[in-house]
Amino acid sequence: MVNGWKCGMRRAVAVGVAVVGGLWGALALAKSDGPYRVIGYNFTDRSIYSFVIDGFGAGNLRAHKPGGGGGTVCCMEVPRGKKTWHIKLEYELTQEQYKKNLPGDVYETDIAIPPLPDKRGGYIEFYLRPERRIEARWSAAPTDPRNPNATGNASLRID
């Protein structure tokens, strides 16, 4: 009876180790982190018609709105090992562009991906600042966009 019990325990431990090892291996083989919710805050003087991050449509961002005029878009994944995002902004037409049927302004740049401490979720907030500066940061929950400490270390001026 004791030998049967020991054999059963060994089998259970072996199965447990195999299951945990398999789950750990699957996590290590994951090709991306996330999903992350994306929030954009626009502190510029122009509304943004289209905000795109590496092909991910992050919506539009109104100018002159309390809280930066952005909303939350779900859900973006970040490939493991990726260091930068390509950002593309299409601004809404000015009155002159509209009246004269001129093309809109498009700005593109690359910014560094901020540290992502939670590999399975959270929020990535993008702050569009005057002088074509974009900042990105990760947060566990949405932050107050008017908080002066709510800027990340990933920023670059758009050329």
Going by C-beta distance under 8 Å and a sequence separation of 6 or more, which residues neighbour residue 91? 46, 47, 48, 49, 104, 105, 106, 107
32-67 pLDDT tens trace: 999 999 999 999 999 999 999 999 999 999 987 776
Average pLDDT of the segment spanning 68-74: 82
Q: What is the pLDDT of residue 16?
A: 54
Element (DSSP H or E) covering residue 14: helix 2-29
